Amino acid sequence: MKTIYTGIKQLLAFTGENSPRSGHAQRETGLIENAAVLVSGDKIIAAGPRRIVESLPEAADAEAIETGGICLPAFIDSHTHAVFAEPRLKDFSMRTAGASYAEIKQAGGGINSSIGAVRAASAEDLEKSLLIRAGSFIKAGTGTAEVKSGYGLDRDSELKMLKAIKSASEKTPLTMIPTLLAAHSVPPEFAGHADDYLDYIEKEIFPSVEKEGLAKFADIFCEKGYFSPAQAKRYLNSARKHGMLPKAHVEQMSRSGGTAAAAACGAISADHADYCAAEDIAAMKDSGTIAALLPASNYFLGLKKFPPAREFIQAGIPVAIATDFNPGTCPCLNMQFVISCACVNCGLAPEEALCAATINGAKALGLEDRGMIMPGMRADLAFFDYDDYRELAYFFGDNACVRTVIAGVTVYEAGNKHAKGISASCSREAK
């Protein structure tokens, strides 16, 4: 089965090396005007100027879809906490009344307040709500999302979260990459005894996750009041022995040393990175660690400070951007908003932000088969109803995605309920 998508006003193909883009290369979008993309099965077989692609012999028997608009690789959201049981509206009300994230934690809100509902929820309910959210990701043009555990914080509940991700993955076209975030916070049973909790993770959680092959990555929240750099090293090195690749939440609220610890463990990405200093950036450069910036969480927390994206770009560190979708600091799964926020608040050029949301997102997840629109790549495409790609960053708060193609199949088409591959169980209407 072949399909040719035609009439694309601007195709951002991100052609080039299949590697993280940094420095000036982060501005190279591989822009082609009046373009077409030819897809066979789940792969792209040609992409380029319309008349060239249309005249290929392989295009002769392809179904033609005149899409117009802008076409990008479907977004790759490399950092989400999309499994959770309840929104944290009480935290939100406290914050609008002026409380900080730390003050909310102090008052009994924060990460640990999400634990109760997740522990009480059935695996089926977690899976069901995740599937509804997967449908929303797809409608916003996202084809791949990393999804973390981290609201269970005991063996059974962490496994329950990871199993919900696994079983939901089998029912939605959205690719979900699972990450074990057992060290998201010290759970109440271990209050004041973070090292004992790490003993417990090493003894009880890592072996089970490894045995069942439930996580590609392991993540830790390195921050004052959560886990120290030494604890991060211990956790990430031990996770690696259990087959999980390291990544970490670092320097989110303060400079606490997580970046150097993560880099020393060879982390694929250092996430948030708001308070990174020159030494941290140097450590990332040595270890080839990607800066995964999450500016929508700064927006939602009402912070004045945003991650120093320009410093990373100047230092030649590849920058990815992601939503951080979670119930505490970022209840937003729309990458279009994150792109706008990264441009307005971190000084990224629209070209850099789009690279950060696609090819560099793929690299922050160790993915080789997506993030570019080139022959051989998986056909993950997002189409937007705009004339110029910069409108993606300009019309903030909008979702202009009109079609999402994942692995060669149109899984979402605006206004076409029948054509979408978002199954009934993935859609909010089915709730």
Contact positions vs ligand NIG (CB under 6 A): 81, 110-111, 114, 221, 249, 252, 297, 324, 326-329
Partner interacting with residue 331 (select from ligand NIG, Fe ion, none; CB below 5-8 Å by kind): none
**Whole-angstrom Cα distance, residue 27 to residue 271?**
21
Q: 83 contacts which partner out of ligand NIG, Fe ion, none, CB within 5 to 8 A by kind?
A: none
Nearer to ligand NIG, 185 or 427 (CB): 185
> Which of Fe ion, ligand NIG, none lies near 111, with the C-beta cut-off 5 to 8 A by kind?
ligand NIG
- Name which of 110 and 371 has its Cβ closer to ligand NIG: 110
Which residue number, 173 or 331, has a Cβ lying nearer to ligand NIG?
Answer: 331
Q: Point out the residue whose Cβ comes nearest to ligand NIG.
A: 328
Shortest separation between residue 84's beta carbon and Fe ion, angstroms:
12
Pairing of strands 319-321, 290-293: parallel
Pick from ligand NIG, Fe ion, none: which does 327 bind, CB < 5 to 8 A by kind? ligand NIG
Joined tokens for residue 118? 């997740």
Q: Between 59 and 82, name the residue whose CB sits nearer to ligand NIG.
A: 82
Asked if 251 interacts with Fe ion (CB under 5 A), we say no
Q: CA 315, 377, 384: angle at the middle one, nearest 5? A: 80
Phi and psi angles of residue 277, each rounded to the nearest 5 degrees, phi first: -105, 175
Residue 392 contacts residue 402 (beta carbons within 8 Å): no
Q: Which residue is nearest to Fe ion (CB)?
A: 324
Nearest to 145 by CA among 322, 11, 23, 328: 322
Select from Fe ion, ligand NIG, none the partner in contact with residue 221, using the beta carbon and a kind-dependent cut-off of 5 to 8 Å. ligand NIG
If phi > 0 it is left, if psi is from -120 to 50 it is alpha, else beta; for residue 6 that is beta
Spell out, one character per residue from 293 to 332, where the chain touches Fe ion: x when CB under 5 A holds, - when not. -------------------------------x--------
Give the shortest CB-297-to-ligand NIG separation in angstroms: 5
Nearer to ligand NIG (CB atom), residue 45 or residue 250: 250
Task: Find the shortest distance in angstroms from Cβ 101 to Fe ion.
Answer: 12
Q: At what angle do helices 155-169 and 111-120 cross, to 10 degrees?
A: 70
Closest CB to ligand NIG among residues 65, 161: 161
328 binds, among Fe ion, ligand NIG, none (CB under 5 to 8 A by kind): ligand NIG
Of 209, 94, 103, the closest CA to residue 159 belongs to 209
Distance CA 95, CA 326 (A): 16
Rg over CA atoms, the chain: 21
Let me know: does 107 contact 86? Beta carbons within 8 Å: no
Task: For the CB of residue 32, give the shortest distance to ligand NIG in the complex, in Å.
Answer: 36
- Decide whether 280 or 324 has the Cβ nearer to Fe ion: 324
Backbone angles phi, psi at 293, to 5 degrees: -95, 145
Which of residues 5 and 337 has its CB atom nearest to ligand NIG in the complex?
337
Query: Could you tell me how far CA 364 lies from the centroid of its own chain?
Result: 9
**Near Fe ion in 367-386, by CB under 5 A:** none
Query: Which residue in 207, 205, 289 sits closest to 246, CA to CA?
Result: 289
Pairing of strands 63-66, 2-12: parallel
Question: Residue 203, class by beta-carbon neighbours within 10 Å (0-12 exposed, 13-18 middle, 19+ buried)?
Answer: exposed
Binding residues (CB under 5 A) for Fe ion: these are: 324
